[in-house]
Amino acid sequence: EPPDQRPTLPPQIEKKVKLSPAHWLIALLAHDPRLAATIEDDHTAQLETLDAPGIEILLPLIRLLKEHPDYTLNHLLGYWRGIHGQEQGEHLARIVSSDLISAPGHTPDSNSAQARDIITGLLRHADRQLPVKEQAERLLNKHLLNDEDHKIAVQLWHQLTAENADANLILAVKQLLTKKIPAEK
């Protein structure tokens, strides 16, 4: 019987690459440092509370790239090794070396949209890690709730009711449910 004639993939392609959202954002920022300028400072502050893989690299990277949007990938890696040590520099190099970032179809616009989506997801994750009372207070400060906020408000209301929380807080969250943005027709 003839040997298998199927082409084999190079080893680096055979490996499944799974980047956490923070690692994916790190890679996007390293390849396009100007994206850091699009991240609002209050969003960066919110992410400081997040316990997720890669946040310990992401936050200083955002600050660095906001100060130095002209850094190339080589500048960035050299700086990182010099300031954070060889081990951290190699860790950053492994994160940013994903071929997925430079895959066909990735344009500056698609990378920018993807960065926004990742930030939105990380912010949601950070909010969910807050104590229930703080989550409720954050929603109470919004004028109108989008669909995602409305779902969170319903979950909080159920959770607060189950925990026999402060009646005023339960009432405030219940009132939140009337602040939903009307659905588009």
- What mean pLDDT comes out for the span 58-66? 97
**pLDDT surpasses 70 at 11:** no
**Range(s) of the domain holding residue 140:** 131-185
Which residues, including other chains, have CB under 8 Å from residue 45's CB and lie 6 or more apart?
none
Model pTM score: 0.74
116 is a domain residue: yes
**Per-residue pLDDT at 104:** 66
Same domain for 92 and 25? yes
14 is a domain residue: no
Which residues, including other chains, have CB under 8 Å from residue 50's CB and lie 6 or more apart?
122, 125, 126, 129
- Name the β-bridge partners of 180: 145
Domain count within the chain:
2
Q: What would the two tokens of residue 96 be?
A: 């940013």
**pLDDT surpasses 80 at 182:** no
Q: What value does the mean pLDDT of the chain take? A: 84
**Per-residue pLDDT at 178:** 80
Which residues, including other chains, have CB under 8 Å from residue 106's CB and lie 6 or more apart?
none
Same domain for 113 and 146? no
Phi, psi of 145 (to 5 degrees): -105, 135
pLDDT tens figures, 68-122 = 999 999 999 999 999 999 999 999 999 998 766 666 677 888 889 999 999 999 9
Of 107, 129, 151, the position where a domain reaches its end is 129
In this structure, are residues 118 and 21 in contact, taking their beta carbons and an 8 Å threshold? Answer: yes
The 10 Å CB-count burial string (b at 16+, else e) for 126-150 is bbeeeeeeebbeebeeeeebeeebb
34 is a domain residue: yes
Same domain for 115 and 150? no
Gap between the Cα atoms of 16 and 32, Å rounded:
24
Angle at 75 between CA 71 and CA 76, to 5 degrees: 80
Residue labelled with tokens 């669909």:
147
